[in-house]
Structures are given as C-alpha cells and as structure tokens.
Amino acid sequence: MHPSVHAAATPDKPAIIVAETGESISYAELDAASNRAAQLFRAHGLGHEDVVAFMLDNTPHYYGLTWGAQRAGLRYVCISSRLTQDETDYILENSGAKMLIVAASLAPAAQQLQTRIERFSMGGDIAGWPKIEDELAKMPATRIADERAGVDMLYSSGTTGRPKGVRVPLPEEREIDAPNSLVMLAAAAFHIGPESVYLSPAPLYHAAPLRWSMTIHRLGGTVVLMKKFDPEGALAAIETYRCNAAQFVPTHFVRMLKLPEAVRAKYDVSSMKSAIHAAAPCPVPVKQAMIDWWGPVLLEYYAGSEGNGMTFATSEDWLAHKGTVGRAINGVLHIVGEDNETELPVRQEGTVFFESEQVFEYHDDPEKTASSRNSKGWSTLGDVGWVDEEGFLYLTDRKSFMIISGGVNIYPQEIENHLVTHPKVADVAVVGGPHEEMGEEVIAVIQPADMADATDAFREELGAYAREKLSGVKIPRRIDFLEALPRHDTGKLYKRLLRDQYWEKAKGK
C-alpha cells in the first residue's frame, strides 16, 4: 500500500500526531503535502534518481517531503542535525544533492555551510534562504505525471570516521505502492497493521525511525511522533494516545527504568503490544527489567541501513536464550574467521556476515564497499559475535571498538552493559587509551546520574562493582567522569571522539 491509497479510503484518519502537542495531520493532508513536494521537485528540475537532502528537526512536515521524494523517484538524504559543518558539506557533495531543505532552528549551522546548491528554510527564517512553505504553497496538490518509486540514501552518523552513504538501487517495481520486504516483515513478524498507533521517539534522520514510521504509513496506521525523546514523556504518550507499538534503542529503556518508581507507576502502558528495539544489543538486566515491567512484548532485531540481512527475537526467544539478538529471518547468517573466508563452528566468535541477494554499496567509496564483502559475496556490517546450536546470534561488539591490551582482545560492550546497571550511573562508554607497557588500557567514561557523585570514592565503588561480574583484564584501569557523553540522538555513542581525546593528549605530552 501507499499513503495515497489510505488517503482515498480513510482521508480523515490521523497519519501523524505530535506527541507533545497533539497536532495532527490526516492521510488526506499527508497525500496533498507529498504531491506538492513532488511537484516542487519537478519544477526545480529534479528527475528520477536525482538527490534531495533534508536537515530537519522532528516535525510532522518531514513526511510530506520524504513521501514527495519517494513518489518523484528521487533519492532522499536525511542529514543529522548533530554533524559538523565539514561532515554536512561532505555528505552534500558526496551524495550529489541538488537541493537542501534545513530547519530554521539550525540557522547558525546552516549559514556556515559551504555548499551552493539550491537551499530552502523550513519552519522560520534563515537569512537569504527562501522558505520552503512559500514555495510549496504555489504548487498544485495533484499527482505528477511521471511518478515512480524513490528510495532513501542514508549516511552513517560518523561514529568511527567519515559518514558513509548507503546506496541501493531504486526499486525495480516502479509503482510507488509496490510492496517491499520491510512492509511484509513489519506485518508478519512485528504485528504492525492499520490498527497500529506507533510511537516514534527517535530522530527521523536515522534509518530505523524514518523507515519504520514510513512503513506504518504504508500499512495505514498512525505515527505518534516525539519531537525529542524524554523518558517520562514517552510513558505519557503511550498512555495518552494508547500506543500499541513503538521502536526504541537500549538507551531509551535504561532512561525509563532509571525514573523513580513512583513516576513509572503513574502511567498506564498496558496498550503496548509490540515494543520493538534494535541499534545495539540490550544489556541482559535491562531487557529482563523491561519484560518484567511491560510483559513479553519486546521484539528485537539486528540489521543495518545496508539491508543485507536481519535477525529477529521475540521475548519468548530471548527468555530462553538470554542475550541473543535472534535468528536470521532475512539472509543467511554466517560467522567467519579472521581471514573473512573460513566459516566458524557454533559458539566460536568471529565476524558476522550475511549471505543475501540484497545489493548495496558505500557511495563513492569502493574500498569500503570491497572491505564489507568476502570472496563468496557475503557482506558484513563489521560486528563480531557467535551463534548457538539453534542458530541464535549473540553480538560481542563492533570490531572497530576492540581494545587490545597486552595482546588480549577486549570488547567494551560487556563492560558497558554491566556498569550501566549501577544505580548511580546514567550512561557509560568504554574506550581504549594509550598505555606504554600494555599498548592500550581500558578506560571507562562515566556520566553519573548526579555529578556530585563524581568522586574518588565513587571510582572505587565502580571498580568494586566491575569486579563482581568481569574478569581481571576487563576491569577499567582508569575511570573518568563527564557531565554528558557525546551520544547521538539515535542512542549511538560518538566513541571515536572520546577515544581520540585520550590519544591526542598522549601525543601532546
């Protein structure tokens, strides 16, 4: 299906509701907005396969633009508002974008951009930029004559280097309402349908929130869009709008669980039937606590923007295989040794590869594309893990985050998963810093729930807490405190920034 189909059948049904304000956009209004956007793109010379870029905060009007690009056969690049000017200019140049639409709230960053492509502001003024709303108002709300299905072209958040664009072919089925694999998976495995009221708490410039909320529109449900995630606000939205589906990252769960018990108990979350989560493996105690609180409604998947494969686990699967991210439901899963060729036996750790017909490339980066493949044509996202006898996958960490101390490979994820469960820890990142004798040492960077706890006594307490569950080589040799970690709104940490600070300091000695 396509939102235009639902606009004809149920024109007054809400397609989007803003969680914080109750502002609503119906399917008829969404269809008209997307038609005007498609007309505008054509009027400004954008044809099939051309690229348009959006750098916006969460707004219900985001979808008029993305659906307009989709029905105009464009590639649409959704850019993080947290990137530097250099990274944003790089994405615009690398993607070949011909038009850029930026939120007026981001005016200071927008005015630093070096790009000279056609530019518009949205939701207010950016000096010297036309307002997109004025341009859209000039356009008819009728369908363009040459509709065909477009597709997103999304870039990584740059946590381990330059942002990289994932480019997939435009759908072979040119019709804008042709089914796709995510729609079928959402309906069959994740219980998504026209009755779904789906809470979307994360930024729309990220792959999962964008693709899943647009999938809700394909299936005729309602998206409850949060402008910005707030743990109590999410619970309030679930109660207010009777949300029965949502997608989270583990950081969202941690922050909701750390609310005072009295606050958590205030809200009725019994409507929730499909609490989907991904982006990173969830610490076992955190997921257990969420299942105890919400019931067996947590549905987990592991996948990437590349779309090369997916695993899936119900709550029942997870309770029987604690720590798993599921079994493959898209693509064939392989665990491969250091040569990227030899398939390893069960319970042996290696690089996670998928065997799949899905084709992708990292745009304008043949070296990166080649490094993600092996000679068999299998592809990897760079994660390390193992499978059990029943084919359930357990992720260890990203290969690029590995710390090598005294010749021993140490993955930060296990350390982070334990430390974040300490009641006085709000967030944690573990990185490798330079060490003259061992090569690298394990450093834990802690965001305390209360900065008054950033003391030597708390360091000792955390060291003792680590020793309760972790082997000696994994105990942090250094514990530092930060008021706020450089965490992306999607929940991902900018670990590269933290790690680089320690190595740069060592060079400056």
421-440 residue pLDDT tens: 999 999 999 988 888 777 78
pLDDT of residue 509: 54
Lowest-pLDDT range of 64-73, 296-305, 483-492: 483-492
Question: Could you give the CA distance from residue 93 to residue 117 in angstroms, rounded to a whole number?
Answer: 9
**CA atoms of 395 and 83, how far apart (whole Å):** 28
More confident residue, 342 or 487: 342
Q: Burial level of 197, CB count in 10 A (0-12/13-18/19+)?
A: buried
Question: What's the mean pLDDT in 322-332?
Answer: 93
Q: What is the pLDDT of residue 490?
A: 63
Please check the confidence at residue 186 and state whether its pLDDT lies above 90: no
CA gap 246, 298 in Å, rounded: 10
Is residue 246 within 8 A of residue 200, CB to CB? The reply is yes
- Note the pLDDT of residue 508: 63
- Sorted by where each starts, the structural domains of the chain and their CATH numbers stand as 3-10+25-169 (3.40.50.980), 179-302 (3.40.50.980), 331-401 (2.30.38.10), 403-507 (3.30.300.30)
Helix (H, G, I), strand (E, B) or coil at 417: helix
CB 69 within 8 A of CB 52: yes
**CA atoms of 48 and 174, how far apart (whole Å):** 11
Query: 41-50, 153-162, 260-269, 326-335: which range is least confident on average?
Result: 153-162
Q: What would the mean pLDDT of 374-393 be, rounded to a whole number? A: 92
Tell me how far apart the alpha carbons of residues 374 and 377 are, in angstroms, rounded to a whole number.
Answer: 5
In this prediction, residue 160 carries a pLDDT of 46
Nearest to 466 by CA among 414, 397, 403, 404: 414
* Helix or strand holding residue 301 (H, E): strand 298-302
Grade residue 159 by pLDDT with cuts at 50, 70 and 90. very low
- Residue 411 is predicted with a pLDDT of 78
Give me Rg for the CA atoms of the chain. Answer: 23
Confidence of residue 43 (pLDDT cuts 50, 70, 90): very high
Residues in CB range of 396: below 8 A, 6 or more apart: 349, 383, 384, 385, 386, 411, 413, 414
DSSP letter for each residue of 315-367:
HHHHHHSTT--BEEEESEEEEE-TTSSPBPPTT--EEEEEE-S---EETT-HH
Residue 110 contacts residue 126 (beta carbons within 8 Å): yes
In the sheet that 393-398 helps form, which strands lie side by side, from edge to edge?
Answer: 332-336, 350-355, 379-387, 393-398
Q: What amino acid is encoded at 363 in this protein?
A: H
Q: What are the C-alpha distances in Å from 85 to residues 76, 125, 142, 425? A: 19, 19, 36, 32
Could you read off the pLDDT of 234-268 as tens digits, one per residue?
Answer: 999 999 999 999 999 888 998 999 999 999 999 99
pTM of the model: 0.82
Q: What is the pLDDT at residue 489?
A: 67
Does the pLDDT at position 69 exceed 80? Answer: yes
Whether residue 403 is predicted with pLDDT greater than 80 in this model: the reply is yes
The residue written with tokens 């381990």 in the block is 160
What is the rounded average pLDDT of the residues 464-485?
A: 91
- How much is the pLDDT for 2? 93
Q: Per the structure block, which two tokens stand in for 435?
A: 């060490």
How large is the average pLDDT for residues 184-202?
92
- With pLDDT > 70 as the criterion, what percentage of the chain qualifies? 96
Q: Is the pLDDT of residue 167 over 90?
A: no
Q: Mean pLDDT across the stretch 259-282? A: 92
With a cut of 80, say whether residue 55 has pLDDT above it.
Answer: yes
* Closest among 58, 12, 50 to 31, alpha carbons compared: 12
Q: Which of 287-291, 484-488, 491-495 has the lowest mean pLDDT?
A: 491-495
Which residues sit opposite 487 in a β-bridge?
A: 493
| Highest mean pLDDT: which range of 7-11, 79-83, 348-352, 497-501 | 7-11
Name the average pLDDT for the chain.
91
For residues 34 and 64, the answer to whether their CB atoms sit within 8 Å is yes
